[in-house]
């Protein structure tokens, strides 16, 4: 096994060990009338949205029974929404690293690596936190406080028009509801965000932060499958693939799928039920 000199440069990222940056101007986010959502139990009601929040030790936050109020009709949209897998393949061919290929949900139980969130650090504004209980490796109940954050964000201009004949301008602001959690898997930290908008749209975002997965190298060693990030330190090339599970229920359970192309729309045939019950008997 090869031996390497310890990297000469400092690598401590804690704020009290670094030269302080000039402080940002103070920014306060307040809602004097309180939050625009209500949370009876694990159900969330916000504007025209209705849904429930759950959590599993594999997937992390799970949104259930999302519906949108359209006039007098409460229209179902999504029965279940969650992350289903996060694959992280590495491309370094070094003898002790070539096998690195992580399935962060299936192998590391992504949800169980969740962070407890702190006001003013992970979320801003009028916050509601969800806490859940999970079983640990010995089957004992483990309390997980404040692991899902719920808050509102201003989202800029939703609609605007200026009447040039009168100079009158009308503006409508947009807003979104944010459901978020943070997870630490080894060197990486992942933020999982679900956004609900006033127009009925849904968005998923994954934020990648933390530190790079590194390996030691010689000063004259070539790094074709990475980047030299400091003397004696190689940041290995890698990718992140986020897979999301969406069980759709648009206006009910008999949802039909269509695929679009340059030649138009084509209906995707429904999979016969018997294909899910195993091989047919002769």
Q: Establish how many alpha carbons lie within 13 A of residue 65's alpha carbon, considering only the half-sphere containing its beta carbon.
A: 10
The Cβ of residue 226 has, within 10 Å, a number of other Cβ atoms equal to: 23
Measured between its terminal Cα atoms, the distance across the chain in Å is 57
Q: Which of 90, 92, 129, 188 is catalytic?
A: 188
Q: Is 96 a catalytic residue?
A: no
Catalytic residue among 90, 104, 129, 213: 104
Q: Are 43 and 51 in contact (CB under 8 A)?
A: yes
Helix then strand count (H, E) for the chain reads 0, 17
Handedness of CA 176, 181, 183, 189 (dihedral sign): positive
Give the CA count within 13 Å in the CB-facing half-sphere of 198. Answer: 14
The residues that are catalytic are 104, 188
């Amino acid at each position: 096994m090869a031996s390497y000199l310890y990297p000469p440069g400092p690598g401590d990222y804690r704020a009290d060990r670094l030269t302080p940056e000039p402080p940002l101007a103070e920014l306060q986010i307040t809602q004097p009338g309180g939050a625009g959502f209500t949370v009876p139990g694990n159900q969330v009601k916000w504007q025209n949205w209705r849904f429930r929040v759950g959590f599993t030790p594999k997937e992390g936050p799970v949104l259930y029974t999302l519906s949108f109020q359209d006039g007098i009709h409460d229209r179902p949209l999504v029965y279940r929404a969650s992350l289903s897998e996060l694959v992280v393949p590495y491309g370094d061919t070094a003898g002790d690293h070539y096998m690195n290929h992580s399935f962060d949900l299936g192998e590391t139980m992504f949800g169980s690596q969740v962070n407890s969130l702190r006001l003013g650090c992970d979320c801003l504004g009028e916050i509601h936190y969800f806490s859940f209980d999970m079983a640990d490796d010995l089957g004992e109940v483990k309390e997980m406080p404040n692991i899902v954050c719920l808050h509102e964000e201003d989202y800029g201009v939703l609609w605007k028009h200026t009447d040039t004949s009168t100079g009158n301008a009308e503006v409508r602001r947009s807003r979104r509801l944010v459901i978020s959690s943070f997870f630490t898997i080894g060197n990486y930290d992942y933020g999982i965000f679900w956004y609900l908008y006033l127009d009925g749209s849904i968005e998923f975002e994954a934020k990648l932060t933390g530190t790079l997965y590194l390996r030691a190298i010689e000063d004259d060693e070539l790094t074709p499958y990475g980047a030299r990030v400091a003397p004696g330190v190689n940041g290995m090339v890698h990718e992140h693939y986020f897979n999301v599970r969406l069980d759709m229920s648009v206006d009910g359970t008999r949802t039909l799928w269509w695929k679009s192309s340059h030649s138009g729309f084509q209906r995707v045939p429904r999979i016969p039920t018997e294909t899910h019950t195993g091989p047919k008997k002769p």
